Amino acid sequence: MLSKKTIFTKFLLAVLAVTGLSIALPAAAQVGLPVVNMVDDGTGGTKYSLTLQLLALMSVLTLLPSLLLMMTSFVRIIIVFSLLRQALGTAQTPPNQVLVGLALFLTLFIMAPVLTSVYDDAITPYFEEKISFETALDAAEAPIRTFMLNQTRESDIGMFLEIAGNTEVTEPADVPFLTLVPAFITSELKSAFSIGFLIYIPFVVIDLVVASVLMSMGMMMLSPMMISMPFKLMLFVLVDGWTLIMGSLTASFAIS
């Protein structure tokens, strides 16, 4: 009996095949492209034509931004950077492009062991035709699932399992992937805002001190933000803030 994941994968590929047929058949009649088809490989599995595999690959590429947000460390990093910028009160400095670039490369650094494992165990054997597409999916899921489980709180997993009405899960390895992803995102949001709260505290103290001094001097028309920003920038530079933030973010991920 086929598993739910296998059925879902075959259903998705079938939908892609129908979509590809409606688009590619007129062009295929002109340039001689192979017909999109799915045939039995003789062992109970399904073999897909090259055209269908390319269509599925192009569809996956369009989902890469969402995969980057949902299943990596990117969410926590970009939220912490955004909260840091707000705590400093520097408006659009650093600009969004710089923060996204920093978050992206820091994500690649943190996820390097996971991505290497996916490439060695799934992508390379599949391109060398040593394993099937379904086997490659299973091999690619394993390191990503391990990373996500290491970062996800049990309470979040339990909440989504309760919402889904799934009471059969007894071990972390049995958690459905579609349940693990939202639980992982929820945990990442909690972690990011917790780190952001700790970052905010020293800067809020500086704002309070500056505002109290200005009020005691009767300078109520002078914006406290204008006076406190240089002190916050000086504090951040003196403690080597960027190194502390990036080092702490990297250390906050349990890489196995």
Mean per-residue pLDDT of the chain: 76
The verdict on 96 and 223 lying in the same domain is yes
Report the share of the chain in percent with pLDDT over 90.
6
- Last residue of one domain, picked from the residues 41, 62, 83: 62
Answer yes or no: do 104 and 227 share one domain.
yes
For residue 9, the enclosing domain spans: 1-62
How many distinct structural domains can be found in the chain? 2
> Is pLDDT of 24 > 50?
no
Claim to verify: residue 20 and residue 145 sit in the same structural domain: no
Residue 241 has a pLDDT of 85
The verdict on 231 and 110 lying in the same domain is: yes
**Same-domain pairing of 38 and 53:** yes
- Are 79 and 180 members of one domain? yes
Between 52-56, 79-83, 170-174, 236-240, the lowest mean confidence (pLDDT) is in 52-56
Averaged pLDDT for residues 198-215: 85
Following DSSP, what letter does each residue of the chain receive, concatenated? ---HHHHHHHHHHHHHHHHHHHHHHHHHHHH-PPPP-EEE-SSS-EEE-HHHHHHHHHHHHHTHHHHHHHHSTHHHHHHHHHHHHHHHT-TTSS-HHHHHHHHHHHHHHHHHHHHHHHIIIIIHHHHTTSS-HHHHHHHHHHHHHHHHHHHS-HHHHHHHHHHHT-----SGGGS-HHHHHHHHHHHHHHHHHHHHHHHHHHHHHHHHHHHHHHHHTT-TTS-HHHHHHHHHHHHHHHTTHHHHHHHHHHHTS---
pLDDT for residue 43: 60
- In tens, the pLDDT along 83-121 reads 998 888 887 888 889 998 899 899 889 888 888 888 888
Is residue 141 predicted with pLDDT exceeding 70?
A: yes
Confidence bin at 127 (pLDDT 50/70/90): confident
Return the higher-pLDDT residue of 201 and 33: 201
Who wins on pLDDT, 1 or 112?
A: 112
Tell whether 137 and 243 lie within a shared domain: yes
Clarify whether residues 133 and 68 are in a common domain.
yes
CB 51 within 8 A of CB 27: no
| pLDDT given for residue 189 in this prediction | 92
Strand partners, 236: none
Q: Let me know whether 150 and 26 are in one domain.
A: no
Residue 188 identity (one-letter amino acid) = E
pLDDT at 217: 78
CA R_g for the chain: 25
Residues 77, 179, single domain; the answer is yes
Whole-number Å distance between alpha carbons of 182 and 232: 36
Spatial contact of 177 and 145, defined as CB atoms under 8 Å apart? yes
Query: Residue 250: which of 87, 80, 96, 99 has the closest Cα?
Result: 80
112 and 17 fall within a common domain: no
Q: Are 78 and 102 in contact (CB under 8 A)?
A: no
pLDDT at 28 over 50: no
Q: Is residue 150 part of a domain?
A: yes
Distance of CA 100 to the CA centre of its chain: 13
Structural domain includes residue 256: no
